[in-house]
Amino acid sequence: MNRTKYRVFWNHENEERWLNEMVTQGWALVDMSGLRYIFAPCQPGAYIYRLELLEELPTHVKSYNYLSFLREAGVEVVDSHLRWIYLRRPAKDGPFDLYTDRESRIRHYGRITTLYGIVGIANLPIGITNLSAGLTHFSRYWGNLLAGLVSLTVAGLLLRGAGHYVWQRHLLKQSEDIEE
């Protein structure tokens, strides 16, 4: 009997932590679309889940090659959402981290920052225009006011998220000076 949960995450590491927490309780993610997460029963601790933002959509040849390589390494692609992929590997195969070197992790954070930054910034003019229309003629444009508030909230969350990843990337870059 599968279980469905609804969540929104802007921090993929929190999302990973939550998915792995569910595994310790005996629930493994099998489907993800938008806000909806579907879990199937599993042995507690059976899998390790990881998320990654691909450079291209999963249908792109570059992604295809990468995902084939991952499959050879025993990694299963559970689902994907736009450029995000949800991966898992049986815990018995050992610890599972996609990136074990600083350079790749820095690049990954950079990709996420770029995505959030662009979408976040794009929502600002949309939000402001809608908001001002709604405020000047409330009775006619109250719908726009709502849309404007939503856009600005989304923009705020995404830009806050981008800021988080910029900071994480900065921390990683700082440690480059002394150690490999």
Kindly tell me which of 115 and 147 has the beta carbon lying closer to another protein.
Answer: 115
Strand, helix or coil at 12?
helix
Return all residues near 73 (Cβ < 8 A) that are at least 6 apart. 89
What strand order describes the sheet that includes 3-6? 3-6, 36-41, 27-33
Q: Which of 129, 110, 130, 128 is nearest to 118 (CA)?
A: 110
Instruction: Report which secondary-structure segment, H or E, holds 5.
Output: strand 3-6
Number of residues counted as binding another protein (CB under 8 A): 20
Among 101, 139, 174, 178, the residue binding another protein under the rule CB under 8 A is: 101
Provide the minimum distance between the beta carbon of 119 and another protein in the complex, in angstroms, as a whole number: 24
Among 44, 45, 74, 110, the residue binding another protein under the rule CB under 8 A is: 74
d(CA 50, CA 84): 10
Does the protein bind another protein through residue 73 (CB under 8 A)? yes
Contact 51, 16 (CB under 8 A): yes
Among 1, 8, 95, 177, the residue binding another protein under the rule CB under 8 A is: 95
Contact 111, 153 (CB under 8 A): no
Stretch that binds another protein, among 73-81, 117-125, 132-140, 167-175 (CB under 8 A): 73-81
Kindly tell me which of 63 and 132 has the beta carbon lying closer to another protein.
Answer: 63
Does the protein bind another protein through residue 77 (CB under 8 A)? no
Cα 44 from chain centre = 24
Stretch that binds another protein, among 89-97, 115-123, 149-157, 160-168 (CB under 8 A): 89-97
Does the protein bind another protein through residue 16 (CB under 8 A)? no
Binding site for another protein (CB under 8 A): 52, 66, 69-70, 72-75, 94-101, 103-104, 108, 180
